[in-house]
Amino acid sequence: MPDTQQIALEDPNKQKLQQVPQEPANNGDTKQTDLVQTVKEQLPEVVPLETKSSLKAKLSLGDDDKKHGSPKKVTPLKYGEIVVLGYNGVLTQGDKGRRRSKFTLWKRQEANGVKPSRKHIVKNPQASHVVQDSKQHSVSFTLSRNQAIVIEYVHNEDTDMFQIGRSSEGPIDFVVMDTVPGDQRVDNYTVSQSTISRFACRILVERNPPYTARIFAAGFDSHRNIFLGEKATKWHTDGEIDGLTTNGILIMHPVGGFTVDAKPGVWREVSVGGGIYALRESRSTPGKSCVIEEEDNVLRDGTLIDLCGATLLWRSALGLLASPSPKELEEEIKKINAGRPQCPVGLNTLVLPHRQSKGTLMATEKQPHVYLYCGHVHGMHEWGQKEDDNRQCPMCLKVGPFVRLLPGSETSLYVESAPPTHCFSPCGHMASEESVKYWSSIPIPHGCHGFRAACPFCAMPLSGDPGYMRLIFQDNVD
């Protein structure tokens, strides 16, 4: 592969650095190596000073990796990640195959992108040769019973295509089901009627720097077709044809990137052709809103994609440098544990769990809990219970919810690499200060009309103001 050769020539050490598990698993080791390559190739982009130094640190860590195994296969280039909000690093039933809590977009061995070419006007799209040809990608717009427009798509060797949807059929690369807020503990909760489209959207990434990724509504089915039926919102003006999907694909670019200084951007709807439109009156109101010319469908680090039922976060490979690796996060948690925080009532040492411990999250006395209105961290005890499930904090006598502290394990949701000193309310998921501040300012579609800030780890809408709390640990005084 050209990528590898190029790197190997530049620096023989790099070759060794690539010797990581070939499975693109979510672990820190893999990450370090992708970074090497990604950053190399993305040099035209401006790298902030701070990021450069942390990059160095990460590169030097690579020494450890050299010891592992013999070279098998070169890790492909990583374009970025798509994180499904609400799963905190792992699906309740475990990540399997194309159904995961997070997807990595790797450069494909061979380009599979497509681009529109010819336009056909036909009577019945089903009968058209382009649609019937299962090797030919096409998008059909049925204008009336007797007229349809079929856009023929042809192979594009400059782009890779990734499709997202609810369908488990082959063309869907990333299977996403409806997110149940606060899911983690509800086992047999089933979504009665999914609102996520089976072929919801597709992302096309340019195979050459700067690897621009663009999102489009709707995905191609097993016959490589997209149909917009008679009832779908579509328009045919000035020779251009485009349309919207039933529940729509919404995107939002935070203004200022995926950082604490970002301001939430405006949620927009993206069309099948990749155009940007103002939101419809409600999610599936027929008719398009005005086109937003000055915005585009290019994914930026931190862009949110809403499928109506699940919200996805796009993290670019470069942007991910600012987030901690799982190893770094574990170190931060170990540091807190090393301070031997104590329950002020039981006087026993509390231990923050530092990995998602599926379902077996400790119900022991070591499990830290927090009073959400003051942030005091305690072990589990029964004092101060009120009728409404609230509790009085023994430290400051404030009455409020008392919840288990849970690790925010999905590091791609952190805007900075810093200790998890805060937690979200009401769920108790911990994250760094800047991270909780960021997410508490970001509106996420909630139901079909509203927007609310939510915990990115469990998708619970945040409660109270500001929706997060600084944790106060009592360090061991013994």
Partner 1 sequence: MAGLPRRIIKETQRLMQEPVPGIKAEPDEGNARYFHVVVAGPDGSPYEGGTFKLELFLPEEYPMSAPKVRFMTKIYHPNIDKLGRICLDILKDKWSPALQIRTVLLSIQALLSAPNPDDPLANDVAEQWKVNEAEAIATARSWTKSYAVPNSSK
What is the contact surface with partner 1 in residues (CB under 8 A)?
A: 344-348, 381-384, 392, 394-395, 397, 477-478
> Minimum distance between the CB of residue 400 and partner 1, rounded to whole angstroms?
15
3-state secondary structure of 338: helix
> Minimum distance between the CB of residue 474 and partner 1, rounded to whole angstroms?
9
Give 384 or 426: the residue with its C-beta nearer to partner 1: 384
- Residue 233 · residue 288 · CB < 8 Å: yes
DSSP annotation string for 256-301? T-SSTT-B----EEE-TTS-EEPPPSSTT-SS---B-TT---B--T
Give 61 or 374: the residue with its C-beta nearer to partner 1: 374
Give 290 or 477: the residue with its C-beta nearer to partner 1: 477
* Alpha helices by DSSP H, 197-261: none
Give 344 or 408: the residue with its C-beta nearer to partner 1: 344
CA distances to 66, 200, 248, 285, 407 from 289, in Å: 55, 20, 12, 10, 41
Greatest pairwise CA separation for the chain in angstroms: 83
> Minimum distance between the CB of residue 346 and partner 1, rounded to whole angstroms?
6
Angle at the Cα of 443 from the Cα atoms of 438 and 294, rounded to 5 degrees: 95
Give 232 or 472: the residue with its C-beta nearer to partner 1: 472
> Minimum distance between the CB of residue 383 and partner 1, rounded to whole angstroms?
5
Give 290 or 397: the residue with its C-beta nearer to partner 1: 397
Give 324 or 368: the residue with its C-beta nearer to partner 1: 368
- Per residue in 434-456, is it b (16+ CB within 10 Å) or e — as a string? bbbbbbbebbbbbeeeebebbbb
Closest CA to 86 of 175, 187, 181: 181
For residue 404, the one-letter residue type is R
Q: How many CB atoms lie within 10 A of CB 387?
A: 5
Q: What CA–CA distance (Å, rounded) separates 414 from 391? A: 30
